[in-house]
Each structure stands twice: as structure tokens, then as C-alpha cells.
């Protein structure tokens, strides 16, 4: 016993319903204030404050204070990845009583995963890119990279690849989708794609939710840009 890192600390942090709701809300990627998170989790401000303190101490969240507000975010992409992975377990092992909420179909179609896209469309994009030989296995930390043809495609799509490459963060990363149980694209490139889709007006985020709506024009463009293999 007591081999390896202390897994129980993290588990206990995720294990409380109120904290789980907070983490789930922050999976949307936006920074939220303490009161916003309190209402999101259905608890009072005092309780939220206590929970947030624990989450920050446990290094799952980071806080930045701005004026008299205090904004909270997930501590990084690794945290988001773990949360999605746990969701994958919960969805398929969770006694099959996955009481699907009203927005569940929309969530499965397209949603935000911290800073990139997840769901049906995200998996489609990943599949399309791989079938055209844009992705390759690398020995970087992330294990995934772009081929030459992939780089050409990305540049042509109007993404500043040089800028992304110069950043410290890994360019590509495979993130396991809890609804599809297949990989979608994460990393700085995944984030850049999501930003582009929103700027182009192809996608629109639902207010106070992880759900992403794909506009008709967006759908048309995306289907062309990422044909099914």
C-alpha cells in the first residue's frame, strides 16, 4: 500500500457534489467568479468559498483577483483531461442511469472542453484529419503532431501556426471524448480551431453552458473543410 502518488486527495476533491458541479462548470473554459460558481452549484456563498479554497489548495483551480471579483479557472489542460476521462467512466459504468438532461443531445453534438471543441463534430474533425494524413505519432510529451501536409492545411485555414509552435504548450494532443469514447483534438491547435470557428461565426456558445451551437453556415463550411473519411 501507499505506492505512487496520493490518489485519494484528488478523488476526494472531485467526490463532493458541490465541488463536482463547480469543476463541471469550469470545464466550459470561461473564468467564473465565486458567486457565479455558488449559484451554479446550488449553494450559498460561504460554502462555495470553503470549497474553492480547497480546490485551489489542491491545485485543481487557480484564482486571479480583479477588482472586487475573484475569478477561478481550471489549473490547466491536464485537469480538464482528467475530468473528461472520469466523465467517460461515469457515463458508461455509471449504472446506465445516466439521467440525460434536456441539453444532453446538444452536449453530445458539440461542447467546449476547457479551451477546445469536444463531441460529435470534434470527433469528426479528428477522423477527417487523420484519414487525410495530417496527423502523426511523435515522441513529444503529447505523442501527437502534424505532418507536412497537415501543417500546410492548417496554415491554409488561416491559423498562425508559427505563433502556436513558439508557445510552450504542446501543439497537438488527443483528448478522450466521454460521449463518443473516441479521440478529439486538443492542445494549442485545438484551441486555435475553436477560436477560429467562433470568430468566423460558425459556432456560438450557449450562455452559461458548455453547449456549442453550430450555425447552418458553419455546418456547411465544416462539412466541406473536414469531409468524412
Partner DNA sequence: TTCATGGTTCGATCCTCGTCGAAGCATTCA
Partner DNA sequence: TGAATGCTTCGACGAGGATCGAACCATGAA
Residues near DNA, by CB under 7 A: 12, 16-18, 33-36, 43-54, 67-70
> Is the CB of 47 or the CB of 59 nearer to DNA?
47
> Is the CB of 57 or the CB of 220 nearer to DNA?
57
The least CB distance from residue 194 to DNA, in Å, is 26
Are residues 173 and 142 in contact, defined by beta-carbon separation less than 8 angstroms? yes
- Residue 165 grid coordinates: 509552435
Q: Residue 199's binding partner, choosing from its own copies, DNA, none, with beta-carbon cut-off 5 to 8 A by kind?
A: none
> Is the CB of 40 or the CB of 120 nearer to DNA?
40
Please list every residue from 146 through 185 that binds its own copies, using CB under 8 A. Answer: 174, 178, 181-183
Q: Does 55 bind its own copies (CB under 8 A)?
A: no
Report the relative pairing of strands 32-33 and 69-74 from DSSP bridges.
Answer: antiparallel
The least CB distance from residue 219 to its own copies, in Å, is 21
Q: Does 91 bind its own copies (CB under 8 A)?
A: yes
Q: How far apart are CA 50 and CA 28, in angstroms?
A: 22
Contact with its own copies (CB under 8 A): which of 29, 33, 70, 88? 88
Q: How far apart are CA 156 and CA 143, in angstroms?
A: 24
Q: How far apart are CA 217 and CA 173, in angstroms?
A: 28
Q: Does 188 bind its own copies (CB under 8 A)?
A: no
Contact with its own copies (CB under 8 A): which of 126, 193, 197, 202? 126
CA angle 188, 34, 82 (to 5 degrees): 40
Q: Does 19 bind its own copies (CB under 8 A)?
A: yes
Q: How far apart are CA 220 and CA 41, in angstroms?
A: 37
Are residues 188 and 175 in contact, defined by beta-carbon separation less than 8 angstroms? no
Amino acid at each position: 500500500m501507499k505506492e505512487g502518488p496520493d490518489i485519494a486527495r484528488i478523488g476526494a476533491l472531485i467526490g463532493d457534489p458541490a465541488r463536482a458541479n463547480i469543476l463541471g462548470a469550469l470545464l466550459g473554459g470561461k473564468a467564473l467568479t465565486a458567486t457565479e460558481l455558488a449559484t451554479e452549484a446550488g449553494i450559498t456563498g460561504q460554502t462555495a468559498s470553503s470549497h474553492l479554497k480547497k480546490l485551489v489548495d489542491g491545485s485543481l483551480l487557480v484564482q486571479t483577483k480583479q477588482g472586487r471579483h475573484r475569478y477561478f479557472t481550471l489549473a490547466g489542460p491536464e485537469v480538464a483531461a482528467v475530468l473528461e476521462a472520469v466523465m467517460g467512466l461515469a457515463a458508461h459504468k455509471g449504472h446506465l442511469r445516466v439521467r440525460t438532461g434536456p441539453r444532453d443531445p446538444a452536449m453530445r453534438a458539440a461542447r467546449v472542453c476547457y479551451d477546445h471543441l469536444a463531441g460529435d463534430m470534434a470527433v469528426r474533425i479528428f477522423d477527417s484529419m487523420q484519414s487525410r494524413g495530417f496527423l502523426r505519432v511523435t515522441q513529444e510529451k503529447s505523442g501527437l503532431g502534424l505532418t507536412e501536409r497537415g501543417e500546410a492545411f492548417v496554415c491554409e485555414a488561416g491559423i498562425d501556426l508559427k505563433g502556436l509552435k513558439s508557445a510552450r504548450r504542446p501543439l497537438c494532443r488527443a483528448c478522450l471524448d466521454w460521449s463518443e469514447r473516441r479521440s478529439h483534438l486538443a492542445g494549442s491547435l485545438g484551441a486555435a480551431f475553436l477560436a477560429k470557428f467562433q470568430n468566423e461565426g460558425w459556432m456560438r456558445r450557449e450562455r452559461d453552458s458548455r453547449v456549442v451551437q453550430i450555425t447552418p453556415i458553419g455546418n456547411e463550411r465544416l462539412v466541406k473543410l473536414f469531409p468524412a473519411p
